[in-house]
Structure formats: structure tokens, C-alpha cells
Amino acid sequence: DQQVKQNSPSLSVQEGRISILNCDYTNSMFDYFLWYKKYPAEGPTFLISISSIKDKNEDGRFTVFLNKSAKHLSLHIVPSQPGDSAVYFCAASAPSNTGKLIFGQGTTLQVKP
């Protein structure tokens, strides 16, 4: 089951620069996409989401872009801070009343001071 894929296991950026995390999906029925951040020994923390009817959603330093024709979304973090260093998971949900989320494999972001 590879409906949500994050092909980059890791990313390293300099503090103050932009971090771009990518995610691809295969199921055109997904109606919401989410990004979660996870620190070691903690549960995933919700970061930002986007509806499939939109192509961009912004919240402070975090922006998610959705390209439905390419079945691709990306998370931009500007400017990156050392505290952003964590594992970032892309997740998707299909229309249902159950709330099930399908996660990608995660990308480990390291922001260097």
C-alpha cells in the first residue's frame, strides 16, 4: 500500500533558508492532505492541512502547495529554524466518516545553525 509516498528520507538545510518537503500520492479520491511533525519519543503533531479543492494554504512560516494534476504536494518552511528539525509526515484522507489517515514514510529534516 503505497498510496502516499515521500521519496526523500532526509533533508538538510541551513538555518534561515527554505526547507521544501515533497509528497506524492496515487489516490485521486483523497480530499484532504495534512502534514505532521514528529519529534523522537513523541506522537505526531498536526502542522497544516489543505483541502483538495485548494492549491495553497499558508500558516505563518509554513505553506503547503497542492498540484492535483501531478498528484503532488509540498511543504515549504521559510525561514527554517533549528527547532524545525524533526520527522515530517505527509498524510491523506479519503471521503468517509471514519477519519482514517494514510501516511507517507516520513522525511527527516535537519536544520543546521
CB of 43 to other proteins, least distance (A): 3
How many residues at the interface with other proteins, by CB under 8 A? 27
Q: What is the largest CA-CA distance in the chain?
A: 43
Q: Which is nearer to other proteins, 28 or 97 (CB)?
A: 97
Comparing CB distances to other proteins, the nearer of 16 and 59 is: 59
In angstroms, rounded to a whole number, what is the distance separating the alpha carbons of residues 110 and 102?
Answer: 24
Q: Judged by CB, which is closer to other proteins: 16, or 47?
A: 47
Q: Does 94 bind other proteins (CB under 8 A)?
A: no
DSSP strands (E only) in the chain: 4-5, 10-14, 19-25, 32-38, 45-51, 56-59, 62-67, 72-77, 86-93, 102-103, 107-112
Judged on CB neighbours under 10 Å (0-12, 13-18, 19+), 111 is buried
- Window 20-49: contact mask with other proteins (x via CB under 8 A): -----------xx-x-x----xxxxxxx-x
Residue 99 touching other proteins (CB under 8 A): yes
Do the Cβ atoms of 33 and 73 come closer than 8 Å?
A: yes
Interface positions with other proteins (CB under 8 A): 31-32, 34, 36, 41-47, 49, 51, 89, 91, 93, 96-106
